[in-house]
Copies of this chain bind each other. A is one copy, B any other.
Amino acid sequence: MGKIEITPIATMRSDLPTKFGIPRQSGLVDELRSTIVFEPEYRNPDALRGIEGFSHLWLIWQFSAAVRQGWSPTVRPPRLGGNTRIGVFASRSPFRPNSLGLSCVRLLGTEQTAEGTVLHVAGADLMDGTPILDIKPYVPYSDSHPEALGGFTDTAGDFLLQVEFPQPLLDLLPAEKQEAAKALLSHDPRPSYQRDPERIYGLPFAGYDIRFRVHGDLLTVIDTQNPQSAHATTPTMALSEIAAAR
């Protein structure tokens, strides 16, 4: 069958510049807010008429970071601990033919901006800069199936870590980003095969680098840095300095 040419209609603007920390599914971290900016040729407010009557939207997008790696017939889902292989079409893995992603997000509202009408959404699992190929309303009567059997996703519960984010480090983040940062961390951003309690991880988030360790079920933030303002006046503070300052 012939190839099909697709033109991205919009771009995701999110606080997650890399795949590290991206929630494993949409909707898991509702605190995470992001913005959909249309490409110039699709900046037509008429095309959004009536969209605010819907509480949720579908996004079809491209796993742009996975395209080069191609697809694999079997994958190892993080929810299964990264050791069990299942078929790629029985998974939502990025390493699939055509690298298409599908996410349900909550629509917070529209806003008129210098870049046209944008959509503010909650709970997206898209990296900053992800090309969006289509936006559709979530239609509960055909899309909602609470009785559906979710295969391996039914049994592999989403385990949450306890997060210790010292207030002075948390306060380095803008107030409106703090809840999302804590929620992202509670979902355990570590690769599923890494369990070294001494290792220091860095979560790039909203222009900051949130550094943490995990011992057992407890994640402790040890530093919050703003690399973009290394030579500027925004405060950067490590836990050791906080302790020393007390």
Contacts and interface: CB of A to CB of B under 8 A. Distances in A.
Interface stretch (A135-143, A206-214, A215-223, A238-246): A135-143
A55 B145 CA distance: 10
A142 B89 contact: no
Nearest to A135: B89
A231 interface: no
A54 interface: yes
Contact of A97 (B46, B100, B134, B146): B134
Given A25-B141, A133-B4, A142-B25, A54 B9 contact: no
A81 to B, nearest CB: 15
A74 interface: yes
A86 B3 CA distance: 31
A120 to B, nearest CB: 14
A142 B26 contact: yes
Nearest to A91: B137
A158 B142 CA distance: 12
Contact of A49 (B28, B74, B92): B74
Q: Top 6 closest A-B pairs, CB basis?
A: A53-B151, A49-B87, A25-B142, A50-B86, A50-B90, A55-B149
